[in-house]
Amino acid sequence: MLYFYLSLISDPEQKSKLTRLYTAYCNVMRYAAMRILKDSYLAEDAVHQAFIKISYIIEKVQEEPCHKTRTFMVVVVENIAKDMWKKRKKDTMMDFDLLEVPAEGNLLDDLLSKIQAETVAEKIELLPDGYREVLVLRYLQDYTDEQIAALVGISHAAVRKRLERARQKLCVLLKEEKL
C-alpha cells in the first residue's frame, strides 16, 4: 500500500538526472578511463563506479551542458581509474597525503594577487592528481567537504587536509614561478 501512495508522487515519464548525465557523458568518461587503464572492461567498471559515487550527490550536480560538468565527470572517473590502476599494478606510488609541503600561511593569497590566472591554471595542471581533483571539486563545482568526501571516498577531515595541502603545494609552484 505504501508503494501505491509513493507511486502517486512519482513521474514515470521523467528520465532521471543520472540517466541524462549518463547519456551525455558516458563516452567521454569511458575514453578518459581507457586512457589510464588501457582495458575497455576495466574502463567500464570505472565508469560504473563513478556513476555510483555521483548518485550520492546527484542533487548537487549541475546538468547544463558546459565544460564544468564535463570536467567534473572526467575528474571523478579518472580518479577511480587511477585507483584501480594502482591496485592492479600493486604500485607503491607515493601517497600524496603524506607529502611534506611547507606551510605557507597567507603567502598563497599574496601570490594569487600578483600572478595572472592563466599562470595559476598552468600550475594547477602540475599538481598531483589528488590535489588537483579536490581543487576542481571545490572551486569549479563549489562542493562542500562532505560532498567531496562522498565522491573521493575519504573522511571530511582528510578532505580539509588535502585541500590545505593542495593550496600549499600550489603556493610552492607559484613561488618558483615568481622567482
Partner 1 sequence: MRLTSQEKLKKAVELYSLKMQQEFPSPEELANLPEPSSRFQKKMNRLLRRQKKSYYRLINTSLKRVAVAILVFLLLISCLMSVGAIRAPILNFFTKVYEEYTDVTLNHSQKEVPEKLHIEEMYVPAYLPEGFEKSMENVTDNYLYFEYINKEDKYVLFEQCSYEDPSISINTEGTTYEEILIFDTVGIYYDNIGIQSVLWYYDGYTFYLMTDMGKEEALKIARSIEVEK
Task: Annotate the chain with three-state secondary structure.
Answer: CHHHHHHHHCCCCCCCHHHHHHHHHHHHHHHHHHHHHCCHHHHHHHHHHHHHHHHHCHHHCCCCCCHHHHHHHHHHHHHHHHHHHHHHHCCCCCCHHHCCCCCCCCHHHHHHHHCCHHHHHHHHHHCCHHHHHHHHHHHHCCCCHHHHHHHHCCCHHHHHHHHHHHHHHHHHHHHHHHC
Task: Tell me whether residue 1 or residue 98 sits nearer to partner 1 (CB atom).
Answer: 1
What CA–CA distance (Å, rounded) separates 75 from 46?
12
Residue 157 contacts partner 1 per CB under 8 A = no
Task: Tell me whether residue 31 or residue 99 sits nearer to partner 1 (CB atom).
Answer: 31
Q: How far is the CB of 124 from partner 1 (least distance, A)?
A: 5
Selected binder of partner 1 within 38, 86, 102, 139 (CB under 8 A): 139
Size of the site for partner 1 (CB under 8 A): 53
Residue 109 contacts partner 1 per CB under 8 A = yes
Task: Tell me whether residue 44 or residue 160 sits nearer to partner 1 (CB atom).
Answer: 44
Between residue 40 and residue 59, which ones bind partner 1 under the rule CB under 8 A? Answer: 40-41, 44-45, 47-49, 51-52, 55-56, 58
What CA–CA distance (Å, rounded) separates 35 from 161?
29
Task: Tell me whether residue 87 or residue 94 sits nearer to partner 1 (CB atom).
Answer: 87
Task: Tell me whether residue 44 or residue 96 sits nearer to partner 1 (CB atom).
Answer: 44
Interface ranges with partner 1 (CB under 8 A): 1-3, 5-7, 9-11, 15-19, 22, 26-28, 30-32, 40-41, 44-45, 47-49, 51-52, 55-56, 58, 67-68, 70-71, 74, 108-109, 112-113, 117-118, 120-121, 124-125, 132, 135-136, 139-140
